[in-house]
């Protein structure tokens, strides 16, 4: 059993579910169960805070809490709300959650950034030197850019214009579903977007995240890129793990030292 200081607590706030759990920061694995509650509708700050408080209580967790949002978050304040209620914009998320959890220490970060931290420390980016770029393909496209484990937060590459259209409107996995595209023709769209990213950022590795990365063998081989690309390893726990790392100030280097 990991000691105090080797454990953290993360909550991943998504469009359909709010998921949380205790994380072993030596391994990046969950200790015990992942607790999931359906995202309340409308997904307003107060409704989400209440849901998150239930998860913390159910887990019996007493310490600091890290949370993700599908938003640009700077110094605890929410600046965008792509797939959650628009009333989040302008909310001081740290204050909101800290009040909901009885005044404890809270860290809030972008969902893809959290997944990137986790994959870089424990998953597909582990031991990779240089620039790692994680993209999550879901309702939108989330991005995380890390250089030797150091995150450049809030990159929002899903909103970059590629051939006159926002990248996520062209190549999120929701576009595949909506248009009924085959893996192969969707992969052409993803290639177009990732080529643009590699032209501008020259990453050493792409990590493909989001639910569709579970079926990576169906579409990753169809991509035509200069940069190596691998599926994410942590899948549905990456956000929780990254949030817990952020709450405990655990960088990739710190995680390696703990393990």
Residues 162-181 that bind ligand BGC (CB under 6 A): 168
Residue number with CB closer to ligand BGC (111 or 119): 111
Q: Contacts with ligand BGC in 137-156 (CB under 6 A)?
A: 140, 142, 156
Comparing CB distances to ligand BGC, the nearer of 59 and 232 is 232
Cβ distance to ligand BGC smaller for residue 71 or 91: 71
| 71 contacts ligand BGC (rule: CB under 6 A) | yes
* Binding of ligand BGC by 112 (CB under 6 A): yes
Contact with ligand BGC (CB under 6 A) among 45, 158, 209, 242: 158
Is-contact 76 92, C-beta < 8 A? yes
Q: Which of 80, 87, 99, 191 binds ligand BGC (CB under 6 A)?
A: 80
- Alpha-carbon distance values, 203 to 27, 165, 198, 237 (Å): 25, 22, 6, 24
- Closest distance between ligand BGC and the C-beta of residue 122, in Å? 20
Of 7, 69, 227, 232, the closest CA to residue 135 belongs to 232
- Alpha-carbon Rg for the chain, nearest whole angstrom, is 17
Site residues for ligand BGC per CB under 6 A:
70-72, 80, 82-83, 110-112, 136, 140, 142, 156, 158, 168
């Amino acid at each position: 059993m990991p000691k105090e200081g080797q454990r953290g607590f993360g909550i991943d706030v998504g469009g359909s579910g709010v998921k949380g759990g205790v994380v072993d920061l030596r391994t990046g694995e969950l200790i015990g169960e992942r607790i999931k509650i359906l995202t309340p509708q409308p997904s307003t700050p107060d409704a989400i805070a209440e849901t998150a408080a239930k998860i913390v209580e159910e887990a019996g967790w007493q310490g600091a809490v890290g949370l993700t949002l599908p938003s640009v978050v700077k110094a605890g304040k929410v600046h965008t709300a792509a797939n959650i209620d628009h009333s989040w914009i302008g909310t001081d998320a740290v204050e909101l959650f800290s009040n909901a959890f009885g005044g404890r220490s809270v860290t809030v970060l972008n969902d893809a950034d959290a997944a990137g931290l986790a994959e870089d420390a424990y998953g597909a980016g582990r031991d990779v030197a240089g620039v790692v770029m994680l993209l999550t393909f879901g309702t939108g496209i989330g991005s995380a850019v890390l250089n030797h484990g150091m995150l450049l937060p809030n990159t929002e590459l899903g909103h970059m214009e590629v051939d006159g259209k926002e990248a996520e409107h062209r190549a999120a996995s929701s576009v595949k579903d909506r248009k009924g595209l085959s893996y192969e023709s969707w992969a052409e769209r993803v290639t177009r977007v990732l080529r643009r990213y590699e032209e501008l950022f020259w990453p050493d590795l792409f990590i493909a995240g989001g639910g569709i990365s579970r079926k990576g063998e169906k579409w990753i081989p169809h991509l035509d890129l200069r940069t190596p690309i691998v599926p994410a390893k942590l899948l549905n726990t990456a956000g929780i793990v990254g949030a817990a790392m952020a709450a405990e100030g655990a960088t990739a280097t710190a995680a390696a030292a703990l393990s």
